[in-house]
C-alpha cells in the first residue's frame, strides 16, 4: 500500500486524507522536509496559494520539495495546489513562489467574480465511468502548456486538469465530493512510479 502525504501547511488537508484513505492509500500529513523521505507520493491541497507559498518558505520546504519533484516524486495538486505546481503563474502576489513541476502557465482566480464558486460536470481523461462533479472555488485555469504536458480536462474551453509525467493537477476539488476516482487515478500513478 503506497504511503501518500498531504502537504499540511494550509488548506483542505483533512478532506484529502479521507479521500486518499478511501482510495486505498496510507495517508498522512507532511509538514517538514525530513518527512518527504517517508512518502511515495504527495498531495498539495486547495486553500490559498499565497499563504501556502509563504509557509513553504518558513518551513524550509521550497527547495527540498522542488528537488523531490524533479527526481520524480508523484504529486497531485488541487486548485491552490495546482498553482503551486505551475512553473509560471499569472496574477500571483509579487514575491509568490511555486514548487513547479509542470511546464504550464496558470492564472490565479481566473474564472472571475461572477463565477467565484460553481460546480460543473467535467470529463477527465483517464477517469472511467462518466464525468466527475467539478467543484470550482476561486479556481485557477491553465493558460498554456508546454509540449510534455497532457491536457486531461477542459471546462468552457479552459484547461482545468493536466498531467506531466508523475505530476497531476486539477483546478477543481475532488476531495470535496464523495467521488474519489481522481484520487484513485493518482494512487495508481503512485503505484506505477
Catalytic residues: 79, 173, 175
CA quadruple 111, 29, 174, 68: dihedral sign: positive
Residue that is written with C-alpha cell 503563474 in the block? 89
Q: How far is the CB of 110 from ligand GLN (least distance, A)?
A: 9
* Interface with ligand GLN, residue 54, by CB under 6 A: no
Write the CA distances from 23 to 16, 141, 174, 182, integer angstroms. Answer: 10, 26, 12, 9
To the question of whether residue 49 is assigned a binding role by annotation, the answer is yes
* Interface with ligand GLN, residue 75, by CB under 6 A: no
Query: Which among 76-84, 97-105, 162-170, 176-184 is the span making contact with ligand GLN, rule CB under 6 A?
Result: 76-84
Footprint (CB under 6 A) of ligand GLN, residues 96-155: 108-109, 137-138
To the question of whether residue 70 is assigned a binding role by annotation, the answer is no
* Interface with ligand GLN, residue 83, by CB under 6 A: yes
Burial of 174 (0-12, 13-18, 19+ CB in 10 A): buried
Q: Kindly report the three-state secondary structure assignment for every residue of 77-98.
A: EECHHHHHCEEEEECCCCCCCC
# binding residues, ligand GLN (CB under 6 A): 11
Q: How far is the CB of 172 from ligand GLN (least distance, A)?
A: 9
Which of 5, 47, 64, 100 is the binder for ligand GLN (CB under 6 A)? 47
Write the CA distances from 138 to 21, 29, 80, 98, 108, integer angstroms. Answer: 26, 24, 9, 18, 8
* Interface with ligand GLN, residue 49, by CB under 6 A: yes
Q: CA nearest 182: which of 57, 58, 16, 13?
A: 16
Residue closer to ligand GLN by CB (options 164, 172) is 172
Annotated binding-site members: 47-49, 108, 137-138
Residues that bind ligand GLN (CB under 6 A): 46-49, 79-80, 83, 108-109, 137-138
Amino acid at each position: 500500500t503506497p504511503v501518500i502525504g498531504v502537504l499540511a501547511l494550509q488548506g483542505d488537508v483533512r478532506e484529502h486524507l479521507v479521500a486518499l484513505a478511501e482510495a486505498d492509500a496510507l495517508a498522512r500529513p507532511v509538514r517538514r522536509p525530513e518527512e518527504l523521505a517517508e512518502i511515495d507520493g504527495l498531495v498539495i491541497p486547495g486553500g490559498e496559494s499565497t499563504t501556502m507559498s509563504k509557509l513553504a518558505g518558513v518551513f524550509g520546504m521550497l527547495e527540498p520539495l522542488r528537488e523531490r519533484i524533479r527526481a520524480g516524486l508523484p504529486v497531485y495538486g488541487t486548485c491552490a495546489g495546482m498553482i503551486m505546481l505551475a512553473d509560471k503563474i499569472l496574477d500571483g502576489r509579487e514575491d509568490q513562489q511555486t514548487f513547479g513541476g509542470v511546464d504550464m502557465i496558470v492564472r490565479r482566480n481566473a474564472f472571475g467574480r461572477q463565477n467565484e464558486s460553481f460546480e460543473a460536470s467535467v470529463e477527465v481523461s483517464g477517469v472511467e465511468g462518466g464525468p466527475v462533479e467539478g467543484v470550482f472555488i476561486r479556481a485557477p485555469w491553465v493558460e498554456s502548456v508546454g509540449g510534455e504536458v497532457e491536457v486531461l480536462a477542459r471546462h468552457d474551453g479552459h484547461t482545468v486538469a493536466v498531467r506531466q509525467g508523475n505530476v497531476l493537477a486539477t483546478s477543481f476539488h475532488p476531495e470535496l465530493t464523495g467521488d474519489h476516482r481522481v484520487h484513485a487515478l493518482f494512487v495508481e500513478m503512485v503505484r506505477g512510479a
